[in-house]
């Protein structure tokens, strides 16, 4: 057995009143991992993936944010940076499998490796793994996806004398050191500008600071002063990049019955030949909605919901399930 940690994001400044705590990739994190390896008597390495992480995750995240989209960088990181690099290293080390700390499960159906939710739904991470292909899944081991809860895992670590048994959990996003708005202002300086806020009829309501600071479905922080304390709450309905416009309206205006997803990946590697029944999930820890999906080309899917949904933000991932099995997923392009 060989232990490996990845250096992804540059280590930020020392924790302070303004820096968000609980990030990963710090010197202390690597030292904790090294001490575990010493305790369990196996070799330990740190591989530097900062350049790959910047190009494959952070740059895409910034471009999407600047365009008024709602990206999920954890999906891209798990699908095209971390697992690829680790599997390549595992091959060079002659390892038979790659074990990770993801909360998910694997199964078999004939010659296929299937991907499933973790038994502990509160910890489930299958959503962010939906882009893994058969090669990646076939060489992976998700040891934490079975019946054990986080409490059970910590108790087992404590029984082994591991100092990380009570370590606080890391938070998303690992490369954000402060609050999200401050981080976007810093990283996107010069790539956003003020613009109009309008209602669904096109009437001007106010002015916004920039599209990166809004997402479809957002209610708080709109900067809109209502004229009555009992006014109907308003939400971000649409972000129009072409005109740098934020459209707001009542919650009912968020409801969508159909969406188109691009960059779509099917876990089996093969798209269904006709529409199929499934459940579609629009957030990493959101509910799954009954739907029908069909492939529309090699990397595009069309999804129709049994009942309208109100969380279809362009740029976010939509992941399809049948029961606890992940069928595939892609990036929301349009919703209607």
80 Cβ neighbours under 8 A, 6+ residues apart: 56, 131
pLDDT value for 71: 93
Element (H, E) at 85: helix 83-93
What pLDDT does 21 receive? Answer: 46
CB 261 within 8 A of CB 313: no
Q: Are 180 and 276 in contact (CB under 8 A)?
A: no
Q: Is 93 helix (H, G, I), strand (E, B) or coil?
A: helix
Tell me the three state secondary structure of residue 200: coil
Rounded CA separation 241/12 (Å):
32
Has 174 been annotated as catalytic?
yes
- Listed as own residue / partner, the contacts of 119-123 with beta carbons closer than 8 Å and 24 or more positions apart are 119/145, 119/146, 119/147, 119/148, 120/147, 120/148, 120/149, 120/150, 123/149, 123/150
Are 248 and 289 spatial neighbours (Cβ–Cβ below 8 Å)? no
Of the candidates 181, 249, 174, which has an alpha carbon nearest to the alpha carbon of residue 211?
Answer: 181
Asked if 12 and 19 count as a contact pair (C-beta separation under 8 A), the reply is yes
* Catalytic pick among 24, 25, 74, 174: 174
Q: Are 318 and 282 in contact (CB under 8 A)?
A: yes
Displacement of CA 98 from its chain's centroid (Å): 21
Do 211 and 66 meet the contact criterion of CB atoms below 8 Å apart?
A: yes
Q: Is 77 a catalytic residue?
A: yes
- According to the model, what pLDDT value does residue 227 have? 66
Peptide bond into 173 cis (omega under 30): yes
pLDDT of residue 223: 82
> Could you say which residues of the chain have pLDDT below 50?
13-21
Catalytic residue among 74, 77, 119, 278: 77
Predicted pLDDT at 307 = 97
DSSP state of 283: S
Q: How far is 194 from 307, CA to CA, in rounded Å?
A: 36
Angle, alpha carbons 61-67-70 (nearest 5°): 55
Assessment of whether the complete model's pTM goes beyond 0.75:
yes
Structural domains in the chain? Answer: 3-96+149-166 (3.40.50.620), 193-253 (2.30.30.280), 255-335 (2.40.30.10)
Distance CA(52)–CA(12), nearest Å, equals 18
pLDDT tens, position by position, 128-184: 999 999 999 999 999 888 866 778 788 888 888 888 878 877 666 778 877 889 999
**Cα atoms in the 13 Å half-sphere on the side-chain side of 141:** 7
Q: Give the angle subtended at the CA of 173 by the CAs of 329 and 259, to the nearest 5°.
A: 25
What pLDDT does 260 receive? Answer: 97
């Amino acid at each position: 057995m060989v232990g490996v940690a990845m250096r992804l994001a540059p280590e930020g400044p020392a924790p302070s009143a303004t820096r968000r705590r609980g990030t990963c990739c710090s010197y202390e994190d690597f030292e904790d991992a090294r001490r575990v390896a010493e305790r369990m008597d196996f070799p330990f390495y740190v591989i530097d993936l900062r350049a790959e992480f910047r190009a494959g995750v952070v740059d895409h995240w910034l471009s999407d944010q600047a365009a008024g989209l709602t990206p999920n960088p954890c999906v891209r990181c798990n699908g095209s940076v971390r697992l690829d690099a680790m599997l390549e290293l595992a091959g060079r080390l002659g390892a038979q499998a790659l074990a990770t700390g993801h909360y998910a499960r694997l199964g078999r159906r004939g010659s296929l490796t299937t991907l499933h939710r973790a038994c502990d739904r509160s910890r489930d991470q299958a959503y962010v793994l939906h882009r893994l292909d058969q090669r990646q899944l076939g060489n992976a081991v998700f040891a934490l996806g079975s019946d054990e809860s986080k409490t059970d895992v910590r108790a087992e670590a404590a029984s082994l004398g591991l100092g990380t048994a009570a370590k606080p959990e890391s938070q998303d996003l690992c490369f954000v050191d402060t609050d999200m708005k401050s981080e976007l202002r810093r990283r996107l300086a010069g790539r956003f500008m003020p613009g109009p806020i309008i209602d669904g009829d096109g009437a001007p309501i106010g002015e916004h600071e920039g599209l990166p600071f809004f997402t479809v479905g957002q209610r708080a922080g709109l900067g809109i002063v209502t004229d009555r304390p009992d006014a109907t709450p308003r939400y971000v309905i649409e972000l129009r990049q072409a005109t740098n416009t934020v459209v707001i309206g009542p919650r009912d205006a968020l409801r969508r019955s159909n969406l188109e997803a691009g960059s779509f990946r099917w876990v089996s590697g093969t798209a269904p030949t006709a529409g199929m029944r499934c459940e579609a999930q629009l957030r990493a820890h959101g509910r799954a909605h009954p739907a029908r999906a069909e492939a529309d080309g090699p990397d595009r899917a069309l999804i129709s919901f049994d009942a309208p949904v109100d969380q279809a933000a362009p740029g976010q991932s939509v992941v399809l399930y049948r029961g606890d099995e992940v069928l595939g997923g892609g990036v929301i392009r349009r919703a209607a």
